[in-house]
Amino acid sequence: MGGYGFGYGFWRHRTPSFIGPLDGLGPLYALPGPHRSLSSYTGLCWRVRRSIDAGEEDIGFTPDGWVDKDWLLAVAGGGSLTVIRDYDKAGQGHDLVQLSSGSQPRCVLNGVVDVGPNGHPVLVYDGINDYMDVHDSAGFSRNQAALTYAGVVRNTTTGAILYYPVNAGVGSVRGYIGFSPGATAPLLQTRSTDVAANTSVAGAAITSGTWNRLIGRGRYAAGGADISVNGAVVANNTLTPAQNTPDANQAANVRIGAATFGGAYLTGAMSTVVLAQASLDMAALEAALAKIMP
């Protein structure tokens, strides 16, 4: 536990001149990812697990706000790393957590860092059983007038990116963004009650295996839902009844990458995730996410 490489770059996790790309977007419920994203955040980025000895280590940032690749490699020691905890950069304690080693997404494979198109580290999900829970998030959807959830993701055309289950009733979810098997366009599903009214909105088509920015909003009190795919927005204003979400916690934590009821696990990779108990401005959020493509 600790020690291996921790002193290597701890001082690098913050810099006074850093400006967060998500500054000014309003209160965020959770903001995990490989980038610091908010200037107010002064913590660490990931807690990782080494394959060679199951040792654990906290990893910090470089001055430009990205998780430190050199630090990751120093800790990996030629082996692989998986992520136990992706710290919440909103500072609310809603970290992404996976304590089971067999279900932890990977960030280093045999001494090589998993990266996105711009060379920055990402989390790789195997499509079999990898997923992460947003810590202490069963109350995320309780009695909310609107919710926003977004992810920067590389995916095949199947699998859940983010979902949270209903409080009662098997086979459905309160909120979901992902891909139906074989679909070429991401789908947003959102539900205004646990047992009845829901709506689905399909976004713009994507190419399997590419990196995309997906944003979903459930505007419950306004009776609508929106999905944005790389800035292209599709709205649906038929969500009824128009009301807040149910005054009860969802059945479990918000999950990233996990299979929904009868669905598929995410096959691909994930970077930044954004959750908010509000209807965030989609254009502003899209612009911020575009600045931190991995």
Non-local (6+) Cβ contacts of 177 within 8 A are 149, 151, 160, 161, 162, 163, 186, 187, 188, 189, 214, 216, 227
pTM: 0.92
Cα gap 260→162, rounded to integer Å: 9
- pLDDT over 70 percentage in the chain: 93
Q: pLDDT band at 10, cuts 50/70/90?
A: very low
Question: What is the span of the domain harbouring residue 73?
Answer: 6-133
Q: Residue 188: is its pLDDT beyond 50? A: yes
Looking at the fold, whether 58 and 106 belong to one and the same domain comes out as yes
Looking at the fold, whether 145 and 72 belong to one and the same domain comes out as no
Which one of 133, 148, 178 terminates a domain? 133
Residue at 192 is within a domain: yes
Looking at the fold, whether 172 and 203 belong to one and the same domain comes out as yes
Looking at the fold, whether 172 and 274 belong to one and the same domain comes out as yes
Looking at the fold, whether 147 and 121 belong to one and the same domain comes out as no
Cα gap 144→199, rounded to integer Å: 17
Q: Poorest-confidence range of 54-68, 176-190, 241-255?
A: 176-190
Looking at residue 7, its pLDDT comes to: 44
For residues 251-271, give the mean pLDDT.
Answer: 89
Which one of 103, 133, 163 terminates a domain? 133
Which one of 118, 133, 148 terminates a domain? 133
pLDDT tens-place string over residues 17-76? 889 999 999 899 999 999 999 999 999 999 999 999 999 999 999 999 999 999 999 999
pLDDT tens-place string over residues 126-142? 999 999 999 999 999 99
Regarding beta strands 46-50 and 81-86, do their DSSP bridges make them parallel or antiparallel, or are they unpaired?
A: antiparallel
Q: What is the CATH number of the domain that holds 275?
A: 2.60.120.200
Looking at the fold, whether 191 and 250 belong to one and the same domain comes out as yes
Residue at 58 is within a domain: yes
The region, left, alpha or beta by phi > 0 then psi within -120 to 50, assigned to residue 35 is: beta
Neighbours of 147 (CB within 10 A): 26
Q: Of residues 260 and 258, which shows the higher confidence score?
A: 258
Quote the tokens at residue 43. 């913590």
Looking at the fold, whether 147 and 112 belong to one and the same domain comes out as no
| Three-class SS state of 134 | strand
Q: pLDDT band at 195, cuts 50/70/90?
A: confident
DSSP 8-state symbol, 101 = G
Cα gap 79→4, rounded to integer Å: 13
Cα gap 203→228, rounded to integer Å: 6
